[in-house]
Structure 1
Amino acid sequence: MTVSFVETIDTHTLGEPTRIVLSGFPPLRGRTLKDRSRDLLHRHRAMRQALMWEPRGHVVMFGAVVVPPADPNADLGLVFMDGGGTVDMCMHGTIGAVTALVETGRLELGRDGVAVVDTPAAPIKVRIQRSGARVTAVELDGVPSRSIATGLRARLGRAKVLYDLAYGGNLIAIVRGSDLGINVEARNFRALVDAGMEVKTQAQAAWATSRSRPWPEVVSALIYAPLGKGRYRDLVVFRDHSVDRSPCGSCVSALMAQLHSLHRLKVEQWIECENLLGLAFRSRLVERDRELIPQLSGSAFITGEHRFRFDSRDPLRHGFQLA
């Protein structure tokens, strides 16, 4: 019999979980964080699934492995994962990880409350707001974001639906709820998920035939509705009908870039984008070196600290999923 342990802290950011892996995970190989993300994907599938899938996780569990940064100016590195694989950037996960590490004394900050987090997409700057020992908000600069394409077509049943592609750390398909004929409300959850998954699937199929593909996949579909006065509501669908419980920082970044390209959002104009629970990220675009940089603020809460046990006799030690 062999027994091993993995230690984590769990958080939620506006309802979306992040499992932050502190110790016990096999070392990730690679010079860059992008290399280490690929290593996690290809060499550590069993451990990733063990932490993300049942019985320790669930269908929308998300994770971040704390690693040494590759960038010499960064304070820590994060490599992101979920039950289906890895992603290059996760803003809700970064907010959750930074909150947990600061509140538990594992990440020390200067008086300015600023840290640099290395990620597979790029190093990003974060600013922490505190009230005593509690982190009340984390504001972060995302990666340069931009519109990729507008007016692309997907077919849902007999109807043709227009969607856009934009990059906000991951490649996102964006569609208005009104174009789907669905109000972006909790009571329409299942219809929104089914429509979003179909848009994502068709967007990925079309993207796979593109001659120029700087990013391998369309990670998510974002369905949104303008609420007026700089407020939006969204629902984000990613792998296997999974739904981000938060508004999704990478998706909000992509949405802002797309709105800016359509002259519907000005640089430095703040917006709020809420999830179906009514909880919002506050965000804006700033221009830096002729690039659009999203700035986003949100809060997270620690939900638990875990010491997971892996027993070689356990037939389900590597996790399982039921459709």
Structure 2
Amino acid sequence: MNSEQHPYHCNDISKQTGMVVKTVGMHTGGGPLRIVISGFPKIVGKTLLDKRQYLLDHLDYQRRILLLEPRGHDAMYAAFLVEPDLPEADMAVLFSYGETCSYMCGYATIALGRFAIDYGLVKGVSPETVVKIQCPCGLVATKVQYDDGKTGATRLQSVPCFVFATAVKVNVEKYNEVQCDIVFGGTFYAYADISQFGLNFGTASVKDIIAVSMTTTKAVSSLVKPYHPELTEASYISGTILYENSLMENTPVKFMLVYGDRHAERSGCGSGSCGFLALLHHKGLIRVDELKTFVNGKTQSQLTGRIVKTVTVKELPAVITEVSGRAFYTGECTYYCEDDDTLPFLQLK
């Protein structure tokens, strides 16, 4: 029996439900993305940050339905496409995971560059098509390979990235004093050598990495209040990146990000890689236009990156970075939430 001969018949479920949302699924290096293309309530606001706040204040219930179990899971990320308020932008996006909305997601933006061409938001031009995307952290540019109607790998050029603080010493529960660097790569992360915790990616479980990272984020956040002079709303630490023997010349950077409430990054992490490039440049370990490889410590997913140029953010020295990767489609799906569903979402801890 082939798929066209199956004997099953289903009534029109959409007539029985209060919510019907159509999505496109993608992944970049294993990092999942659910792009919302229709059916979600309108997200309003004058600016993109206004829209972000409106989503959290007025549509949080619907947002959680799409991201949490039983329709989602702990690692799920969503992209809500909205109208940009910057005239030069081709599109605008709000990034979201289980608890809240983030200011940047590099792997999701790499996927969106390809999606924008394949779904007709931007016309493809050979050999490379530029897609300008307004993110909550600012305007970024993706450069997507395009050949004979086919899209390929994507280069993501970041907002300015900078080091906020280095060698910050904090007392982490069970591990006493450890040292971290605080860097902005689209959002603020704490960067810490995993060896300080007696761990390495080869033998540590993901559960161990999550526990250590979350404890570190809590400790650093209680001591350090990072500040972005042009994006004050993002002036907090979003998560911790543990790295292994990586702050050296001519070696791949092996690391893993844990953000929010126990979310372990699957991809090579675009925003984390951008921050790493800024940190390496600050320490004199990488030059402009020098290529660097970034490897997820557990999944082995990779991105490559380089520094495009040096700039400033107000008085702070910063860099424009570029990371490269490939996104793939996982499918298209329509999600329902019937009016009488008494358990529309779950978040077990």
TM-score range, shorter chain: over 0.9
Partners of 2:69 and 2:330 in 1: CA distance: 18
TM-score by length of 2: 0.86
What SS does the aligned partner of 1:123 have? strand
- Which residue does the alignment assign to 1:164? 181
Residue of structure 2 in register with 1:312 after alignment: 339
- Per the TM alignment, residue 108 of structure 1 is displaced from its structure 2 partner at its CA by 2.2
8 Å Cα contact 2:17-2:336 kept in structure 1? no
Q: Aligned to 2:224, what secondary structure does the other structure show?
A: helix
TM-score when scaled to structure 1? Answer: 0.93
Q: CA deviation at 1:254?
A: 1.1
The separation in 1 between residues aligned to 2:151 and 2:178, in whole angstroms, is 42
- The answer for the alignment partner of 2:81 in structure 1 is 66
- Displacement after TM superposition at 1:51 (Å): 0.4
Structure 1 residue 294 corresponds to structure 2 residue 321: yes
Residue type of the partner of 1:277?
Answer: T
Over aligned residue pairs, what C-alpha RMSD do you find? 2.2
Return the offset for 1:131: 4.9
**For the residues of structure 1 that align with 2:161 and 2:199, how far apart are their CA atoms?**
27
CA contact (8 A) 1:182 1:188 kept: no
**After superposition, what is the alpha-carbon deviation per residue over 1:139-192, rounded to whole angstroms, capped at 9, x for unaligned?**
011110000001112223142110010001001100112233211336443222
Q: 2:55 aligns with which of 40, 49, 56?
A: 40
Give the drift of 1:106.
4.4
Task: Indicate the structure (1 or 2) with the bigger Cα radius of gyration.
Answer: 2
Q: Give the 3 Å change call, closer, same or farther, for CA 33–177 of structure 1 in structure 2.
A: same
The residue matched to 2:24 in structure 1 has which SS? strand
Q: What secondary structure, in the 3-state scheme, does the structure 2 residue paired with 1:256 have? A: helix
How many residues are treated as equivalent by the alignment? 322
**Counterpart in 2 of 1:283?**
305
Q: Give the C-alpha shift of residue 288 in structure 1.
A: 4.8
Can you list the C-alpha shifts for 1:15-69, whole angstroms capped at 9, x where unaligned? 0101001111222222221221121122211011000001110011101111111
Which amino acid in the other structure matches residue 283 of structure 1?
G
Which residues of structure 2 form unaligned runs of 5+?
1-15, 313-317
* Rounded Cα–Cα distance in structure 2 between residues aligned with 1:246 and 1:121: 20
Q: Name the structure 2 match of 1:219.
A: 238
Residue type of the alignment partner of 2:259: F
What CA distance in whole angstroms lies between the structure 1 residues aligned with 2:228 and 2:278? 23
Once residues 67 and 238 of structure 2 are traced to their aligned partners in structure 1, the CA distance between those partners, rounded to angstroms, is 18
Partner Cα separation in structure 2 for residue 307 and residue 210 of structure 1: 40
Per the alignment, residue 315 of structure 2 pairs with none
Spell out the pairing of 1:1-323 with structure 2 (5 A cutoff): 2-111=17-126, 112-156=128-172, 157-185=174-202, 187-208=204-225, 214=232, 215-226=234-245, 229-275=250-296, 276-290=298-312, 291-317=318-344, 319-323=345-349
Give the secondary structure class of the aligned counterpart of 2:138. Answer: coil
Farther-moved stretch of structure 1 (91-100 vs 124-133): 124-133
> Residues 210 and 264 of structure 2 are in contact (CA less than 8 Å); yes or no, is this contact kept in structure 1?
yes
The change in CA–CA distance for 1:45 and 1:64 in structure 2 (over 3 A counts) is: same
Q: Secondary structure at the residue paired with 1:253? A: helix
The structure-2 alpha-carbon separation of the partners of 1:216 and 1:210, relative to structure 1 and needing over 3 Å to count, comes to: closer
Partner SS for 1:240: coil
Point out where structure 1 has 5 or more consecutive residues left out of the alignment: none
- The amino acid that maps onto 2:238 is V
Q: Identity rate of aligned residues, in percent? A: 27
Q: Deviations over 1:253-306 (max 9, x none)?
A: 111111211112222211000112222111011215444101011111111101
Task: Summarize deviations over 1:91-114 as a string: whole Å, max 9, x none.
Answer: 111112222332344442334411
Which one is further off, 191-200 or 288-297? 288-297
Distance in 1 of aligned mates of 2:22 and 2:326: 23
Q: Distance in 2 between matches of 1:247 and 1:304?
A: 22
Task: Return the alpha-carbon distance in structure 2 between the equivalents of residues 252 and 186 of structure 1.
Answer: 23
CA 1:154–1:62 in structure 2 vs 1: closer, same or farther (change >3 Å)? same
